[in-house]
Amino acid sequence: MTNNKDVGWNFDNSYARLPQSFYSHQNPTSVKLPDLIILNVELAKTLGLNLDPLQNDEGVAVFAGNKIPEGASPLAQAYAGHQFGHFTMLGDGRAVLLGEQIVPTGERLDLQLKGSGRTPYSRGGDGRAALGPMLREYIISEAMHALGIPTTRSLAVVTTGESIIRESILPGAILTRVAASHIRVGTFQYAAGKGNIEELRIFVDYTINRHYPNINNDENKYLSLLKEVINRQAELIAKWQLVGFIHGVMNTDNMAISGETIDYGPCAFMDIYDPDTVFSSIDTQGRYAYGNQPYIGGWNLARFAESLLPLLHENQEKAVEMAQDEISNYMDIYQKNWLKGMRAKLGIINEEHEDQSLAEELLTIMKQYRADYTNTFRALTFEKMEDTVLGGVPEFTKWVERWKERVGRQQESSAAIQQLMQTNNPAVIPRNHRVEEALAAAVNDGDLSVMEKLLKALANPFAHSTEQAEYCSLPEPSERPYRTFCGT
């Protein structure tokens, strides 16, 4: 262990105090020649870490897994999951939870090394990660954070000085991920599947204390937990839909109980609006298509509710009834969150009954004419309809008249309405072709400047600055259809 207290490490490892069945003590596998590729300076400061010692050999050694900070208690978590609908026992196969950093605000945050070597849950894998997918997670997770969407974050990426074999030989890398926790729906499925109700209760109580302490004194805190998680997920997935984000692999082990977006594997952002959009190469049936995400969220939450049944009520039938009553509310909660966000995107401040049909009619026109999702709302914000393929389309022209009439019925000034739209319609998203351009430069040429420039443009997506304009353009036809891969 390193005792370099100058860095600011401040660990307390509550997860390691759970029953041993929930994890395996596991040190990262050391690597040959670690090199710091990128450090998230803003996030490091938030964590209470000091930049200079974090970037020297000792700090880089921690990011690489070659040194364990004082107070850390590395472990690999056990969990299960429905992967594309099929239940599997899983666990951290290529990640180690370094520990829980207590930050200056008192908040407890997980620090996890992703790509840090084999664990008891690796199932034949090498436990390693390639540079491209780790930089991809860095870019997308930081973009999501800037968009105001709850997400895990990326503190650092280091190369390992070692090659890994996938379809080709690739440079190895490790990402340091920061999360409210790594507790997933699949962790509850794992606990319930073991059949030990006392251990399940211990784990659920732990989760409540960590994420939802406000419900501890409720009459049925386990039912309250279900309600809280339903609300968080409905709000999160609505935010995804409102920016055109496609997670790509919404397995139950990739749904965090905290309500953060987690696991940026085959994710991507939609250009042309189409609810059937799928980017993941392994999602051959479109299970996790953009338009399916709200429904899969409900499906996953039903699996979460099932894991809580033994605690909801001693009578099995009554427990099922209670769970079903709560799950049945999910889609209404999602819809309210989505419509609230869509009103903001359209500059609508008050509520009228026809608002939903107004928004849905626009989406129908966008799909019919293959309009870009982000740029259409951007054009509406600044009333530059000619900037989209919809300019001059009769159906769109008629819709714009209806929209202006709706907005005009409000008391607020046109400046206030435009400001609302400007703060809810991003100028830029991490468009897939620009992300790939940045990754190719970094991985193939060792040139990080393309990624750094992209990250700067994404850091304030609602600025609508002239510097962001170049990142608003669509990919060339030769760059479609776009496909993403898990990077495992």
Q: How far apart are CA 352 and CA 20, in angstroms?
A: 54
Asked about 372 being catalytic, the answer comes back as no
Q: Choose among 190, 326, 182, 200: nearest CA to 258.
A: 182
Cβ contacts of residue 185 below 8 Å, gap of 6+? 81, 252, 253, 255, 257, 300, 301, 303, 304, 307
Q: Which residues contact 72 (CB under 8 A, 6 or more apart)?
A: 1, 9, 11, 13, 98, 99, 111
List the catalytic residue out of 92, 110, 253, 271: 253
C-alpha of 424 from chain center: 19
SS3 256: strand
Rounded Cα–Cα distance for residues 449 and 432 (Å): 17
Structure-block tokens of residue 428: 């830029």
DSSP code per residue over 82-94: EETTEEEEEE-SS
Sole residue written with tokens 């999702």: 373
Please report, for residues 285, 346, 401, the alpha-carbon distance to residue 383 in angstroms, rounded to integers and kept in the order given. Answer: 38, 11, 12
Active site residues: 253
